[in-house]
Amino acid sequence: MLVLVANLGSTSFKYRLFEMAEDGALDDLSDATCLARGAVERIGDAESKCTVQIGDWSDELTMAVPDHGVAVETCLTQLTHEQHGAIEDASQVAAIGFKAVHGGRISGVFVVDDEVLEAMAEMNAAAPAHNPPYIAAMKTLRARFPDLPLVAAFETDFHQTIPAARKEYAIPRQWSDEFHIRKWGFHGASHRYIAFRSAEILGRNDARVISCHLGGSSSITAIRDRQSVQTTMGMTPQTGLPQNNRVGDFDPFALPLIIERTGLSLDETLKTLASQGGLLGLSGRSGDIRDIEQAADEGDAQSQLALDVFIEELRRHLGGMLVALGGADAIVFTGGIGENDQRIRQGVCQGLEELGIRIDSDANETLRQQAGESGEASFHADDSKTQLWVIPTNEEVIVARQTIHAIKSR
């Protein structure tokens, strides 16, 4: 079965085309074959960039792409290229799966219908950068391809197993009951993949695993029996760890003071926190960890402070995950920072010997060489009770499998 997995932005459409067995178990990812990947950038501009990679062949087009419906049509045209195409006809695609973000009162995997779109719209204020473009694209695609099933796999789904005592805010009961204000958690597809893959590596499904998804946005999740039991993100993807330009955890009672002193409106203040906070705000230079590390090495004190804050927040939340699990069998680093930044991994893991965590600093520094094509490698000392791993995530293959299950059970 062929599934197109879509990752949307307000002006972008990134995708992968997977071939998977129809009858595979939800946690069986071994049969997944990525046939192609591509992207359409600058949707709505006079000149949009459309790229595709199929095996050794790649193609790039520059054309006007007014909306996401045309973006899908363009990608299907590239996928059915006469000489190099991954498929013969667009009708072979069984469904499009979306790595959707926030459904509020609905959390799971659903074939997109009016109720799903309505639930997503109710959460626009909580996910303003994600929900509106997904809703607009889904509406366009439903109208353009009425016979092609669309599936929303919500990022919050994996965290439904978190106990209530770890999900509730200490707020008036009415707010949580009527407005669905609680700690939902995100990056669900990534943490689910790490749960499944780490179980395979460790050879046990009951392992206690701490998944550190560190990248442009970051979160940590505690996993037991391949299920989420604690996570750092809360009501929105803006919370938890400081991120590239998102503030992370922040005292809401500071908002009146900021508004009073700056003259900004509440909306303007929130947009500032969501776009100029995080590592960008701390360093005053960039939200990219590579730029910050370079500046710190050149003696910039603010950039060094940004690195120190990021590492300290990672360690603080890691401690909470260790308590929630009663220890850990493995700590896994994934995402762009987690997979590639040995300095951050070293900073997080050093000095934790009393907790049974011993890092092999040499293995950490040479990890990319030893990881090979898979990108997977360990960097714990031989006498460490807790294993330390880098495992590249694969959110898209999770969404592909969820999509197949959703359309089969419809």
Contact 12, 25 (CB under 8 A): no
**Residue 395, annotated as binding a ligand:** yes
Q: Is 373 exposed, middle or buried (0-12, 13-18, 19+ CB in 10 A)?
A: exposed
Contact 371, 338 (CB under 8 A): no
Task: Name the 3-class secondary structure at 270.
Answer: helix
**Residue 338, annotated as binding a ligand:** yes
Task: Compute the distance between CA of residue 14 and CA of residue 32 in angstroms, rounded to an integer.
Answer: 18
**Residue 244, annotated as binding a ligand:** no
**Residue 28, annotated as binding a ligand:** no
- Under DSSP, the state recorded for 78 is H
**Residue 177, annotated as binding a ligand:** no
**Residue 292, annotated as binding a ligand:** no
Task: Name the 3-class secondary structure at 15.
Answer: strand
CA 261-266-267 angle, 5° bins: 130
Nearest to 246 by CA among 254, 238, 234: 238
Residue 149's contacts (CB-CB under 8 Å, 6 or more residues apart) are: 94, 95, 96, 111, 112, 407, 410
**Residue 162, annotated as binding a ligand:** no
**Residue 124, annotated as binding a ligand:** no
Strand partners, 9: 12
Q: Which residues of 311-328 are buried (b: 16+ CB within 10 A; e: fewer)?
A: bebbeebbeebbebbeeb
Residue 340's contacts (CB-CB under 8 Å, 6 or more residues apart) are: 368
Task: Compute the distance between CA of residue 149 and CA of residue 237 in angstroms, rounded to an integer.
Answer: 27
**Residue 288, annotated as binding a ligand:** yes
- Tell me the binding residues for ATP: 14, 288-290, 336-340
- Tell me the binding residues for Mg(2+): 7, 395
- Tell me the binding residues: 7, 14, 288-290, 336-340, 395
